[in-house]
Structure 1
Amino acid sequence: MMEKRRLYMDYSATTPVKKEVLDEMMPYLTDYFGNASSFHTFGREAKSALDKAREQVASLINAKPNEIYFTAGGSESDNWALEGIAYANRNKGNHIITSKIEHHAILHTCEYLEKHHGFEVTYLDVDGEGRIRLEDLKNAIKDTTILISIMFANNEIGTIQPIKEIGQIAKEHNIVFHTDAVQAAGNIPVDVKELEVDLMSMSSHKIYGPKGVGALYIKTGTKLHNFVHGGAQERRRRAGTENIPAIVGYGKAAELAKANMDNHISTLTRLRNRLMNEILERIPNTRVNGSVENRLPGNINFSFEFIEGEGILLLLDMLGIAASSGSACTSGSLDPSHVLMAIGLPHEIAHGSLRLTVGDFTTEDDIDYIVENLPGVIERLRSMSPLYNESKK
């Protein structure tokens, strides 16, 4: 094997902060530290930076600046969207439609609304690639349906949903449409006007910005209850003194993402396809999970038969390779991925999953290192597997 090195292949979990982003943030941690709600010069400096960042994030998704509300991240945005719409529309109905492969920020919020507030939730099945069937969505709609929430792109298998078609269906039935675009916004083109989206959750740390900051796009005219109560920040909709340094960083990250979009997609797609094809060629009894055509450019999700993902991660980490067996939020669980189960994988195959995600700092040498080392890792684990030895007989 080649010499051990530190190699990051988990960009869907989080990304490093780009130097340009950090440089933009630093003055607001030291010189321009004012509270954006203050009327003096220090406050006005912070407010100006806040306004600029709002414009940058809005530009990324073709929204109006006053439709962007900063939050503490994607999970808060998801919670606010679901609970805010549910509570504001109780007089119209109590039915929500989502899918079985959503992030737990959506699934657990839906379960909370069901258990504690009497809402009814339909969890749509997905096909073998992880996409919902539009006919299933249409058939699930009731007179009491007030919200459709379908994620833009899946964090585990990278599958991109038919968002524009979902938006059209929601609009035809006068139903609010929310999409969790944490993995999508800044990694692929997103235009909220073209997509007929009413609410969209986003996050900074998936696009080379700082952690702890995100945004909720709220289309003008969309009524929802506030989620955080207190001061008059974010136009009286989300209380709490704004985290100006992080928001400034998010704005810069959004600006860079928009400017670099074409190169980002083409480079990541090329690296991903090379890695995917070489691993499939070198390691037998391997499958790629998710859609090949409708997929995030940096995502690969493999299933290796006869072994478990935890063993793969441990041996890869010993080689300096950081990867994942699913989403970072659930990697501590020994249960098989709910996403892989939803696309129809049996337990024994779902357990042997590995997510590798490439990013803007991934190189051809990195791909070489994985292609050189991963086959040996899989072979070593399979040699210890009773299932594998039985299959050879």
Structure 2
Amino acid sequence: MLEESREYIADFVGCKPKELFFTSGGTESINTVIKGLFFEQKKEKNHIVTTSIEHPAVLESVNFLKNYFDVKVDLIRPNSKGEIDIEEIKQRTGSNTFLVSLMHSNNETGIINEIEKLSEFTKEKNIPFLSDTVQSIGKVDLKYTELGADFITSSAHKIYGPKGIGFLVANPKFRFARYSDGGGQERELRAGTENIPSIAGFRKAIEILKLNSEKEQEHYNNIRKYLIESLQKNFGDGITINFQSKRNLPNILNVTFSYAKYGFDPDMFLILLDMQGIAVSGGSACSSGSLKPSKILIETGKSEKEALSSVRISIGRFNSKEDVDFLVNGIRTVLRLN
């Protein structure tokens, strides 16, 4: 079951089975790469280039190395459209750079970064390149060999699989210290007995995804289109649909509502929506219990009040147009338009 699942999942993401390692999820995979590369190369190089809008697993890992080992970190900020300038990343790298990290798509903005373009540069300079692909796998057609990144990550729950299981795909060209010590599991990368039931569940989730991938892509696009039309029809110039790009995930929409026009308290916006039975977030799903403004929206230039007045709407496999109608009606109620 273990190796059969590894082969099946490897085929799905376009890598060799020996390049795929099972982990507890994206966070562990990211920690393994960032810290493992640093310790394996015996601290000879001490510079990382990444962005200010990465997942906390990346930002906290690089901060750990910065605080305890004096690793130098360059954080590239996005523009107002949520886009990362690939040329700026290139310019910040140097002979002391041991890792470049850029997420494939952002979990709040939905923007898809130009990973292929950056990977051409990192290969030329022989710099390991990590791309957090947790948000993208299952939402867009993604193959490891086509991306060109050296390391990619996944969490099964993002595609309706079990929580607590994921994978790391790693280029064998780059060695890194393993995450935990003990037995020789996962080809001595990760000690500890593998979680076979969850791995089997991960494989099953991919089987289901593959059966319906084209219909699912169409579903996301149709619901997204209907959602945008409904929001514009009901709120007009009272909203701003953020981060519109030709390179967007089909299942994420970020919208700012005008607190000046509608007279609501930005600090209460999410709470009032929750009371209407609406499950949206003001930032990363991993920080959904927080009422702080989204750091990512602040980084793109929004004020604190604008960020608190913004919501990330995620479209799921089972959402319908009726769900969109319920959402819009709930927002209208909160804004006292009904």
Do both share a fold (TM > 0.5)?
A: yes
Alpha-carbon shift at residue 91 of structure 1 (Å): 5.1
Where in structure 2 are the equivalents of 1:243-282 lying within 5 Å?
Answer: 243-282=195-234
Matched, 1:285 2:242: no
**Aligned amino acid, residue 183 of structure 1:** Q
1:189 paired residue number: 141
Task: List runs of 5+ in structure 2 lacking aligned partners.
Answer: none
1:360 paired residue number: 317
1:232 paired residue number: 184
* Mean CA deviation greater in 200-209 or 317-326: 317-326
2:83 aligned residue (104, 108, 131): 131
Where in structure 2 are the equivalents of 1:50-129 lying within 5 Å?
Answer: 50-90=2-42, 92-129=44-81
1:348 paired residue number: 305
Task: List runs of 5+ in structure 1 lacking aligned partners.
Answer: 1-48, 382-393
2:272 aligned residue (315, 322, 343): 315
Aligned residue for 1:296, secondary structure, equals coil
- Residues 310 and 248 of structure 1: CA distance in aligned 2, closer, same or farther (over 3 Å): farther
Q: Deviations over 1:93-144 (max 9, x none)?
A: 1110100100111101111010001211100011222121011111101110
Aligned partners of 1:374 and 1:194: how far apart in 2?
Answer: 41
Could you tell me whether the CA contact under 8 Å between 1:69 and 1:215 is conserved in 2? yes
2:292 aligned residue (335, 342, 353): 335
Q: TM-score, normalised by structure 1?
A: 0.81
Matched, 1:153 2:91: no
Aligned residue for 1:297, secondary structure, equals coil
Q: Deviations over 1:294-320 (max 9, x none)?
A: 111110111112245653333333332
Could you tell me whether the CA contact under 8 Å between 2:282 and 2:307 is conserved in 1? no
Aligned residue for 1:201, secondary structure, equals strand
Q: Deviations over 1:119-177 (max 9, x none)?
A: 11100011222121011111101110110010111111111111111111111111000
**Aligned amino acid, residue 363 of structure 1:** S
**Aligned amino acid, residue 334 of structure 2:** V
Aligned residue for 1:102, secondary structure, equals coil
Could you tell me whether the CA contact under 8 Å between 1:61 and 1:189 is conserved in 2? no
Could you tell me whether the CA contact under 8 Å between 1:309 and 1:325 is conserved in 2? no
Aligned residue for 2:27, secondary structure, equals helix
Could you tell me whether the CA contact under 8 Å between 1:101 and 1:342 is conserved in 2? yes
* Mean CA deviation greater in 204-213 or 85-94: 85-94
Q: Deviations over 1:205-245 (max 9, x none)?
A: 00010101111111232211101111111111101111111
* Mean CA deviation greater in 220-229 or 240-249: 220-229
- Residues 317 and 67 of structure 1: CA distance in aligned 2, closer, same or farther (over 3 Å): same
**Aligned amino acid, residue 347 of structure 1:** E
**Aligned amino acid, residue 212 of structure 2:** N
2:252 paired residue number: 299
Alpha-carbon shift at residue 51 of structure 1 (Å): 1.1
Q: Deviations over 1:325-369 (max 9, x none)?
A: 111222333331111011111112011111111111111211222
Q: TM-score, normalised by structure 2?
A: 0.94
- Residues 374 and 208 of structure 1: CA distance in aligned 2, closer, same or farther (over 3 Å): same
**Aligned amino acid, residue 105 of structure 2:** A
Higher-Rg structure is: 1
2:281 paired residue number: 324
Following TM superposition, where does structure 1 have runs of at least 4 consecutive aligned residues deviating by more than 4 angstroms?
307-310
How many residues are aligned here?
Answer: 333
2:329 aligned residue (362, 372, 376): 372
Could you tell me whether the CA contact under 8 Å between 1:201 and 1:215 is conserved in 2? yes
Could you tell me whether the CA contact under 8 Å between 1:98 and 1:149 is conserved in 2? yes
RMSD (CA atoms): 1.7
Aligned partners of 1:308 and 1:244: how far apart in 2?
Answer: 48
Q: Deviations over 1:16-75 (max 9, x none)?
A: xxxxxxxxxxxxxxxxxxxxxxxxxxxxxxxxx111211222122101111111111111
Could you tell me whether the CA contact under 8 Å between 1:324 and 1:354 is conserved in 2? yes
Q: Percent identity, aligned pairs only? A: 36
* Mean CA deviation greater in 368-377 or 270-279: 368-377
Larger relative contact order (Cα-Cα within 8 Å, sequence gap ≥ 6): 1
